[in-house]
Amino acid sequence: MHLIKGIRTFLFDKEKRTIFLAQHGFYKTMSDRDFLCMQFKNVFGYDLNLENPQTYNEKLQWLKLNDRNPQYVQLVDKYQVKEIVANIIGEQYIIPTLGVWDSFDEIDFSKLPNQFVLKCTHDSGGLVICTNKSKLNMSATKKKIDKCLKNDYYMQNREWPYKDVPRRIIAEAYMVDESGYELKDYKFFCFDGKVKAMFIASDRESNTEETKFDFFDAEFRKLPFTNGHPNSTKQYEKPKTFEEMKSLAEKISAGLPQARIDFYDVNGKVYFGEITFFHWSGFKKFEPPIWDKKFGEWIDLTRVKK
């Protein structure tokens, strides 16, 4: 069944087929510009406007090609970014690192606690959550991490900062929020150091539920659109740490044309998650589409130093 579904996806889904082929080196000789134009047309059905981009997704593609601040390489590195962010907002907001290695075989699991999280520093994915070390499937874990280490995240959607990030593995402290079983993300969209919107990501580790994204404005008023995942049926109350997270996001994003700054709230204590420069890599539709234009209006490309 999974094989048949995979074949159908490859044959009929241009976006996913292009990602698969990109990951396997089929577009190595294609320029970033040509690749982004091709994939944008695959996703949205119309040509990418790089001469006068208007929507959020168009402007993210423009930024991939024109905003080449070398510091972004460190800011997307899940290990190096911790020191940079700690210097801005304080070490108390950083999730403790338990170790960093170049390969899976270097990890001494006897020195890790019973619960921990493994992930790679150079891409999005490959996450291994261990809640009981004695029950950890070591072969499956190694297979997942090794596959992640081989993944060229830059080639997938031409997010250039990932091209030079060292491919390493880090272990972090395991955490859950007030639910007792998950760790919701609070993700803030910042534009030139100002929060304009955010969303809560929930059900990410569920085996029975699709991930949910619920969007809010800077005052935590619900926004009526979807982007990549459905809304939740839950009614979220404004987190007590909302203003704290918002303030921290603005400090971290100061001077950046746009960035998404992610946090966790662990029983009232805030922790920094990561910095994302290309939400969904700029390849996910807003429903209704007017929100693509609205988010695009918040990005001032004239402030980008080429």
List, for residues 112-166, the tens digit of each pLDDT value: 999 999 999 998 877 899 999 999 999 999 999 999 999 999 999 999 999 999 9
302: which residues sit within 8 A by CB, 6+ positions away? Answer: none
Output the pTM of the full model. 0.93
What is the DSSP-derived secondary structure letter of residue 133? G
Print burial letters for 58-72: b (CB count within 10 Å at least 16), e (below 16): bbbbbbbeebeeeeb
How confident is the model at residue 23, as a pLDDT? Answer: 87
Residue-level pLDDT at 182: 76
Q: Are 245 and 239 in contact (CB under 8 A)?
A: yes
Instruction: Please report, in tens digits, the pLDDT of each residue of the chain (306 residues total).
Output: 555 555 565 566 888 999 999 988 899 999 999 999 999 999 999 999 999 999 999 999 999 999 999 999 999 999 999 999 999 999 999 999 999 999 999 999 999 999 999 999 998 877 899 999 999 999 999 999 999 999 999 999 999 999 999 999 999 999 988 877 778 899 999 999 999 999 999 987 667 789 999 999 999 999 999 999 999 998 999 999 999 999 999 999 999 999 999 999 999 999 999 999 999 999 999 999 999 999 999 999 998 876
- The count of residues in the chain is 306
pLDDT of residue 5: 55
Cβ–Cβ under 8 Å, residues 224 and 240: no
Q: Are 245 and 270 in contact (CB under 8 A)?
A: yes
Copy the structure tokens of residue 217: 């404005």
CB of 256 closer than 8 Å to CB of 233: no
First-to-final CA distance of the chain: 48
Query: For tokens 């070591």, what's the residue?
Result: 138
